[in-house]
Structure 1
Amino acid sequence: MVASSSASTNSDDRQAVEHIRGRSLPQEWPAAALAAGSRVAVVRDPHGDGRPWRNEFPGTIDDMGAPEPVENSHARAGELAYWVVFDGPQYDSYGDGPYRKALIWDRYLRPDPPLPGSTSNGPRSA
């Protein structure tokens, strides 16, 4: 029952985001990207005032949409943005929220080390 509820929420989220964007979310996963289900820490920007998040927190790469290139003049070459589900509600650096999921540039993600006896989270994009 929990799995179907989660799948239903993910489907509802995808439909809402696609409606707002006016296009479908990509579903083809880049080969060098973190895998869906990978555990990550969402980190603050060390070169600024800590934006975009108020604090560091854990989450999981979501399969709602495949990682996609960041189209912004401040993006690094080949930088990807991932949908991340947060372990608990989070506030951004402006105090807005709480958020339970967001599209996050990979510079703000740090793969969590695997637990002893488990496999690696896989390769990370450059």
Structure 2
Amino acid sequence: MTDTSGGPVSASADDRQAVEYVLGRPLRQSWPPGALAPGSRVRVVRAQDWDGPWQVEFTGVVDAMGAPEPNEHAQAFAGELRYWVTFDTPQRDSGGDGPYRKALIWDRHLRAEPGGPDTP
């Protein structure tokens, strides 16, 4: 699903429908100010304080399927967002489940990479 032309990734209608069905609500489409833009290249990094959430670090792109949403988990940082990220190659989580091609990632596990929508 990565757009090799450097433009934003187009969201998959099938993925969106499936996720909205599971969540029981529509995904947000209003992008928060200051959030990474759809199509931004990112590196998914491992946590510093535990062995996860993924087996290895890898790259992907912020997916336009749904806008970043506030992370309401009890261990979330104040103002932390969660992003839909499509992986360059399928990945397994720290528990060995997967491989996954896309996931909802907490922004503390994302690092911006060159090559996104605003960089050559």
Q: Report the TM-score when normalising by structure 2.
A: 0.87
What is the distance in 1 between the residues matched to 2:23 and 2:90?
Answer: 23
CA shift digits 1:67-116 (9 cap, x unpaired):
0000111000000000000000100000000000000000000001348x
Tell me the residue number matched to 1:94.
Answer: 95
**Mapping of residues 63-82 of structure 1, within 5 Å:** 63-82=64-83
Report whether the alignment pairs 1:113 with 2:114. yes
More helix by share: 1
Amino acid at match of 1:71: E
Tell me which of 31, 42, 62 is aligned to 2:33. 31
1:62 equivalent in structure 2: 63
Unaligned runs of 5+ in 1: 122-126
Deviation at residue 64 of structure 1 after TM alignment: 0.1
Aligned partners of 1:62, 1:119: CA distance in 2, in Å?
Answer: 15
Q: Which residue of 2 aligns with 1:104?
A: 105
Partner Cα distance (1:71, 1:120) in 2: 31
Identity %: 59
CA distance in 2, matches of 1:90, 1:25: 23
Bigger radius of gyration, 1 or 2?
A: 1
Q: How many residues align?
A: 113
TM-score by length of 1: 0.83
Q: Aligned to 1:16, what secondary structure does the other structure show?
A: helix
Measure the CA separation in 2 of the matches of 1:113 and 1:62: 16
Give the match for residue 6 of structure 2. Answer: none
Amino acid at match of 1:60: V
Contact residue 32 and residue 68 of structure 2 kept, 8 A: yes
